[in-house]
Structure 1
Amino acid sequence: MSATAIWIGVLIYLVVSVSVAWLSRDESTNGRSVSMSGYFLGARRFGGFVSALSYSATTYSAFMMVGLAGLTYTAGVGAFGFEIVYFVGVSLVAVFGPRFWRVGKAYDFITPSEMLGHRYQSKPVAVSTALTNCLFLIPYAAVQLAGVGYLLAGMSDGAISFTTGTVFATIVALVFSYIAGMRSVMWTDALQAAFMLVSAFAVALLVVHHLGGLSAMFGQLAQVKGQVLTVPGPGFFSFATFLGLTLPWFFFSLSNPQVSQRLFMPKSLPALRLMLIGFLCFGLVYTLVSVTWGFGALLTLPGLPKADLATPRLLASNVVPPVLAEVVMIGILAAAISTIDSIMLTLSSMLSRDVYAHAAGHRDDARQVRFGKWVLAVIAVLALIFAELQLNLIAVLSVAASTGLAVTVPAIVGAFYWRRGTAAGALASILGGSAAVLLLFASGLHPLGLSAGVWVLPVSIVLFVGVSLCTKAPTKTADEFIAHSQWMKV
């Protein structure tokens, strides 16, 4: 596909999306009276339908259509099992989602780290959680930027460089974030999610039709690449590798703050339930589509130099009509940008609410919002620098980031279900778990043949429980917090 055709499609996408973002502004995000809740949570006024589409667009980003398709191209059907484990893990939202929403409403929490700081009565817990999330989420944002870079470079056959794609995505994500904060992100996400689901499904049907139908496609896979239909398949997914990748992914909906922060935003519990149901329907279809793309690319484009090029090269091939390929390209681009701007807004809200506000010793919303807007650009630049390294498979890098974020899971579960949990225990699990993850990744060590993805939760749980039992718990605050999470009238 020519670079000119690609840029024309991108320009149309920008005009429509920026218009939607601009129209989404209201009194909570425009003018001097802007508040933290208004800018970073959309004033908690989102309905279930918009929330479901936005939650889907934020979660299913470049990882799915570029990363999961590439992982399927490399590892075969094991990639589907890997993603289904995450899909099952979303059931955690059914348990924790209403609790997040209730305490968020009761205490006016802006960030998940603020919630943990209050529950454990500890500013260091809030600060350490915010900084740990920055440490591991900025690389995840970089993965999304890399997805855009590979997409534009692959579809244009190099006419658009990887760097041009990543810089473009960074600028667009910043524009959406600055226009109206989370309101612009939510509404553009909703538009993008519907757009990308329909277009991606259409391409999956074309790929299957080109290969003679589902039976014929799997018949060819069995005949030509039979091992991709088994586990471990081509050898990528040993049991230890599968376990190390899927365990952190299972807890994604709790550990990733750009996702768990969304649980504060629906206007009511029925809206929250609709958000979850809509997301599950979206996710199942999108997973099947991504895996189908990976198998289709494997049959039509064998021997690619880089697995993450499977989707771009498939869209640029004669299998997909140019107009539809461009529509899908824009959908993937939009999905990646929706995740990037959500991550940037979440991290900037944490840094302004839980780090800057504590350091400055004030609770002035206007000053926090100003600081948050300034730090957005810093986060974007750091993500861009990391993306330019072009490291490894997108899917594997995504899970590596989730491995680090999983250190917060024991403290989150303990906040709602274990009154005996303490600030010292939460700090030990978050900081000690992070140190263990970094050490294992840096050294390449695999104790007992198991990766950091397997060790992160046991280490964090032992530290949280062990240190909590040796220190005094804020039982009164814990009782009030847990009671609000269960029984608050709304």
Structure 2
Amino acid sequence: MSATLIWSAIILYVVIAIVIAIISRRGKKQSMVSYFIGDRKLNGFVSAMSYSATTYSAFMLVGLAGLTFSGGVGAYGFEIIYLMGVSLVAIFGPRFWLAGKKYGYVTPSEMLGDRYQHKGASVVSAIASCLFLIPYSAVQLTGIGYLLQGVTDNAISYTTGVVLATILALIFTYIAGIRSVAWTDSLQSIMMIITSTIVVLLLINHLGGFQGFVDSVKTNNPQAWSVPGNGFFQFWTFLGLTIPWFFFSISNPQVSQRLFMPASLKSMRYMLLGFMIFGLIYTIVSVVWGFSASVMFSDLENPDMATPMLLSSEAIPPILGVLVMIGIMAAAISTIDSILLTLSSLFSRDIYANVKQGTKDRKQLLVGKIVIPVIAILAYLFAQLQLDLIAVLSVSSSAGLIVVVPAIIGTFFWKRGTAAGVMTSIMISSLLVIYIEATGGLLLGLKSGIWGIVVSGILFVGVSLSTKAPEQKANEFLTYIKSHMKKKTSN
């Protein structure tokens, strides 16, 4: 696949995406609510497509395909567990939305600080999110670097791809905030699902039809159809990977923040339904890609290069390969955009505004915009390390973010939860996850995600029971949510 063709396609994509982003700029984006959560007015279709593009990024068609190449069909089970975890949105989504509408929350951390009546809860959860989300954004940059490097046979270097992605993410973020990201996401999602599905059909046909595809995988890698297969997906490894992924929809703030954005609960239902359909198709697509690469390029040293090798192979017409490449790149940029916006809103709303009290909304917005390039540079530097498999790195980041889950559950379902419980559980569990990841990823044979959720849960409950809960706020908050959830159910 020629570098000239790829650069031409990238330029065309950038022009179209920028035009869409500019069109999305309706009114002046001079408030935190407008810039970071789109005035809470995203319709169901845009919400679904944006949620899909943000979630299914470089992790899927690069990372999950590479994980399938490495570990076989266990990767499918791993991702299906994630898709099952999205059902948590049906439970928490309406509650996030109702709370955000009632109290004006912009970030999940702000919600924790208000619900538990302590600014420290907001600050601590925001800092933890910053620590673990920057590596996750770097994963997206890594995916784009590998993709462009692979499809051009090194004509476009890894570093060039990472720099390009960083610049584009900054451009789309600054044009109109989350609104421009959401609208460009819609374009990207439609293109991704159509082109990647066509590629699957071509790959299966290239390998002799569905039965030929199955037979080829069995012949070249018979262990791929079983779990643990070649040993990659041992039970505790599988559990350690899937637990952080199951809670992804409420633990990752760039995702849970989107629960504040739909225009109505009806729009949220459409968002969830659209995402589930998109996710199932995309999971099957990614796994088939990984299996196909294991047949066609069995000696591949870096599994994350499986997708680039497929797209540049003779089985895929160059034009189609370029379109899919652009779709993957665009999705990864979408995730980076969302993370940049989320982290900058966390910093300005939950750290800066709490440290420097009395800060007006416009000043918070200005600070948020100022820190966006700083976050982008940190992600770029992290991406240059090229540490591990994209899928594994993604889960490691989510393992750190999972420590906030007990506090979120307590927000809506436990009156006795306290700010001390929130801060203690997040701080100690975060440090434990960092220690485990820094010393090999295992403690007593268990991955950091398992330790994170268990230790965080025990600390949250234990410390909360030994400290005084904010009864007035808890009663007010939970009564409001409960009464409106009953109305939703009756309607």
Rounded Cα–Cα distance in structure 2 between residues aligned with 1:428 and 1:17 = 43
How far 1:178 sits from its partner (Å)? 0.3
Whether 2:470 is the aligned partner of 1:474: answer: yes
Rounded Cα–Cα distance in structure 1 between residues aligned with 2:250 and 2:288 = 28
Judge which range, 102-111 or 217-226, deviates more.
217-226
Whether 2:95 is the aligned partner of 1:69: answer: no
Map of 2:24 onto structure 1? 24
Map of 1:327 onto structure 2? 323
Whether 2:129 is the aligned partner of 1:130: answer: no
1:67-146 aligned at under 5 Å gives the runs: 67-146=63-142
Map of 1:419 onto structure 2? 415
SS in 1 for 2:156: coil
Q: Is contact 1:47–1:271 with CA below 8 Å preserved after alignment? A: yes
1:352 corresponds to which of 324, 339, 348: 348
TM-score when normalising by structure 1: 0.98
How far 1:484 sits from its partner (Å)? 2.4
Q: Is contact 2:400–2:433 with CA below 8 Å preserved after alignment? A: yes
Whether 2:136 is the aligned partner of 1:152: answer: no
Q: Is contact 1:98–1:485 with CA below 8 Å preserved after alignment? A: no
1:266 corresponds to which of 244, 262, 267: 262
SS in 2 for 1:405: helix
Rounded Cα–Cα distance in structure 1 between residues aligned with 2:129 and 2:14 = 30
Whether 2:371 is the aligned partner of 1:378: answer: no
Q: Kindly, what percent of the aligned residue pairs are identical?
A: 58
The one-letter code sitting in structure 1 at the alignment partner of 2:24 is S
Map of 2:219 onto structure 1? 223
The one-letter code sitting in structure 1 at the alignment partner of 2:221 is K
Map of 1:303 onto structure 2? 299
How far 1:448 sits from its partner (Å)? 3.5
Rounded Cα–Cα distance in structure 1 between residues aligned with 2:423 and 2:198 = 48
2:235 corresponds to which of 226, 234, 239: 239
Encode CA deviations 1:344-364: one digit per residue, 9 max, x unaligned. 000000100011111221241
Q: Is contact 1:241–1:451 with CA below 8 Å preserved after alignment? A: yes
Encode CA deviations 1:195-252: one digit per residue, 9 max, x unaligned. 1110100101100110111111111211221001101111111111101100111000
The one-letter code sitting in structure 2 at the alignment partner of 1:431 is M
1:278 corresponds to which of 274, 278, 298: 274
Q: Is contact 1:133–1:257 with CA below 8 Å preserved after alignment? A: yes
Q: Is contact 2:217–2:292 with CA below 8 Å preserved after alignment? A: no
Map of 1:14 onto structure 2? 14
1:397 corresponds to which of 369, 389, 393: 393
The one-letter code sitting in structure 1 at the alignment partner of 2:124 is S
Whether 2:308 is the aligned partner of 1:312: answer: yes
Encode CA deviations 1:22-47: one digit per residue, 9 max, x unaligned. 11001142xxxx11000001111111
Rounded Cα–Cα distance in structure 2 between residues aligned with 1:445 and 1:3 = 38
Report how many residues are paired: 486
Rounded Cα–Cα distance in structure 1 between residues aligned with 2:382 and 2:423 = 27
Map of 1:49 onto structure 2? 45
Rounded Cα–Cα distance in structure 2 between residues aligned with 1:448 and 1:430 = 21
Q: Is contact 1:28–1:39 with CA below 8 Å preserved after alignment? A: no
How far 1:456 sits from its partner (Å)? 1.1
How far 1:445 sits from its partner (Å)? 6.5
Map of 1:483 onto structure 2? 479
Map of 1:4 onto structure 2? 4
SS in 2 for 1:355: helix
Map of 1:210 onto structure 2? 206
Q: Is contact 2:203–2:292 with CA below 8 Å preserved after alignment? A: yes
Rounded Cα–Cα distance in structure 2 between residues aligned with 1:115 and 1:427 = 14
Q: Is contact 1:61–1:144 with CA below 8 Å preserved after alignment? A: yes
Rounded Cα–Cα distance in structure 1 between residues aligned with 2:440 and 2:391 = 18
Whether 2:156 is the aligned partner of 1:178: answer: no
The one-letter code sitting in structure 2 at the alignment partner of 1:141 is S
SS in 2 for 1:267: coil
Whether 2:280 is the aligned partner of 1:248: answer: no
The one-letter code sitting in structure 2 at the alignment partner of 1:322 is P
Root-mean-square deviation (CA), in Å? 1.0
Task: Please list every run of 5 or more consecutive structure 2 residues that lacks an aligned counterpart in the other structure.
Answer: none
Task: Please list every run of 5 or more consecutive structure 1 residues that lacks an aligned counterpart in the other structure.
Answer: none
TM-score when normalising by structure 2: 0.98
